[in-house]
Copies of this chain bind each other. A is one copy, B any other.
Amino acid sequence: MFRTHNCGELRLSDAGKTVILSGWVQRVRDKGGMVWVDLRDRYGITQLVFEEGKTKDELLDAVKKLGREFVIQAKGEVLERYAKNDKLATGDIEIMTEELNVLNASKVPPFLIEDETDGGDDLRMKYRYLDLRRNPVRSALQLRHVMLQKTRQYLDSQSFLEVETPVLIKSTPEGARDFVVPSRMNPGEFYALPQSPQTFKQLLMVSGFDKYFQIVKCFRDEDLRADRQPEFTQIDCEMSFVEQDDILNTFEGLVKHLFKEVKGIDIKHVPRMDYADAMRLYGSDKPDIRFDMQFVELNEVTQGKGFNVFDSAELVVGINAKGAGEYTRKQLDALTDFVKRPQVGAKGLVYVKCNEDGTFKSSVDKFYSQEDLKEWAGKMNAESGDLLLVLSGDMDATRFAMNVLRLHMGDELGLRNKEEFKLLWVLNFPLLEWDEDTKRYHAMHHPFTSPQKSDIPLLDSDPGKVRANAYDMVINGVEVGGGSIRIHDRPTQQLMFRHLGFSEEEAKAQFGFLMEAFEYGAPPHGGIAFGFDRLCSLFGGSDSIRDYIAFPKNNSGRDVMIDSPSPISNEQLEELAIKLK
């Protein structure tokens, strides 16, 4: 037997017992007559003690030879400590060691296995198995484990059936780029890895499964940004005989359940906001509503006063940074530089300080009187001590820039507390979005999303105006999930494909099976998918999803630990009937 207990469970009440522990050497402290070893495993740390006179000499010699991360087994009696350590769950006791077994030695690790390590990103990725020994990394994955169990628990309790859909499916050009898998048995043909189980879950609804879920790996061959992974995990769900409200209520329930069970937080109310309002008030379809600072459109009160910048702008929009009226010249210049960076793209920044004496100091005093500025302040509910920040230009670009500025001000003013969680549904998304590159409309969500019935006539006249039965869940400004009520009849699905530029043949070749299924009694249905990696990182208070993935890939899609991808043999290529270019 390797152990009677783990390294996290012994307490004062165990004193007197003879126990066996196994684990890793975290630290050896040698004070001459006494030697202590911190023995670590996943469950905690227990102190082993060796004492001249009490401990056999060969044991004392052996313990002095232990290195960091050696794997050992120790047997001994549990004793009450003289000097207790209240930072450690096992801090009341130590083990007077009588036997010691080195189960495996360890080379000196390339970085410190401590909460704060000296290892850089690349080194930690190459030795991910050592990085995973560190408390913060292991905790992140333990959180993920709990999220997995609690998610399934809730969905199971709501009569959802977990169904595994295939990983080897069919490549379709719609959406992102597919990863493909050459078929040896069908030379010249390829499977694709799913970007989501979308069509399968809809077919399960046609099958009468009623409520489906799956926590499932999905794949996208995209150029990777910092926070994208080629493979990622989704909580994927679909329900039949539902309207939008049924879905919102069910999955609000899921997220509330997770907050309650995992973090002990009661989420009371989840507000719902129109996409159009989100864009107007926050310049974003995923507003962070932990803080207010809503956009105020100022065209009416700013234009026609001779300030050409504003006069020629499609949108003049301001935010009120409450209490920031004391910002220095230097701070204001920094803000101006911030919005003028190419990633933000504003031409400049207008500010108005609301002084304590009721006067205003602005960067456009030349054009606007105190009365004018008072009017702005009135529209923006500003009080003495506030700072008004105004941007102008084209509608979309200005909203975009102001959103970035608002979030930045939220950070600067400490309004984005990671331990506070504000949930939001964003509703009534546009069905289509124009793509400048291909000069055609794309589905904003995906081609299976239903248009709002009242907007269908607009499909021909003004496609960009058609709203979809689509919704996103946003937490603290992060989109964690999205879904829609689907099309469930062939004619509407065909109409949709036509508007997306599919020829009838293309639609049939790629999605004929789905449209045919719709002819055999497809129920009304809809669903949602949550980005599980992101949800975990949000719950863990981290900005990086990578911390919440056991073996992530780097920005070139490489796993540097196992060195993958890698060349394959000519025999393999031969068998697969492909050649390298």
Footprint of B on A, CB under 8 Å?
Answer: 1-3, 6, 22, 24, 40-43, 69-71, 103-107, 109, 127-130, 132-133, 138, 141-142, 144-145, 148-149, 152, 156, 161-171, 173, 177-193, 199-200, 203-204, 206-210, 217, 219, 221, 223-224, 230-231, 233, 241-243, 246, 488-489, 513, 517-524, 549-551, 553, 556-559, 561-569, 572, 574-581
Contact = CB atoms under 8 A, between A and B. Distances in A.
Given A141-B161, A569-B173, A578 B577 contact: no
A164 B233 contact: yes
A435 to B, nearest CB: 17
B557 A104 contact: no
A129 B165 CA distance: 12
Given A145-B163, A182-B578, 18 more contacts: A1-B246, A70-B521, A103-B524, A104-B518, A106-B520, A107-B519, A107-B520, A109-B520, A129-B204, A164-B233, A165-B550, A166-B551, A168-B231, A177-B575, A181-B565, A513-B563, A574-B581, A579-B579
A572 to B, nearest CB: 7
B24 A208 contact: yes
Contacts of A579: 578-581
Contact of A162 (B40, B149, B206, B549): B149
Nearest to A126: B513
Contacts of A106: 519-521
B177 A184 contact: yes
A167 B170 contact: no
A171 B566 contact: yes
Nearest to A558: B186
A26 to B, nearest CB: 11
Q: Which of A207, A217, A561, A572: most chain B CB closer than 10 A?
A: A207
Identical copies in the complex: 2
A155 to B, nearest CB: 10
Nearest to A202: B129
8 contacts: A24-B208, A152-B152, A164-B550, A166-B551, A170-B559, A181-B193, A188-B567, A577-B580
Contact of A564 (B168, B524, B558): B168
A180 B177 contact: no
B488 A565 contact: no
A223 B132 CA distance: 38
Contact of A3 (B167, B192, B224, B241): B241
A224 B566 CA distance: 27
Given A208-B42, A520-B129, A180 B2 contact: no
Contacts of A178: 572
A580 B168 CA distance: 20
Contacts of A489: 104
B2 A243 contact: yes
A15 to B, nearest CB: 23
A577 B187 CA distance: 17
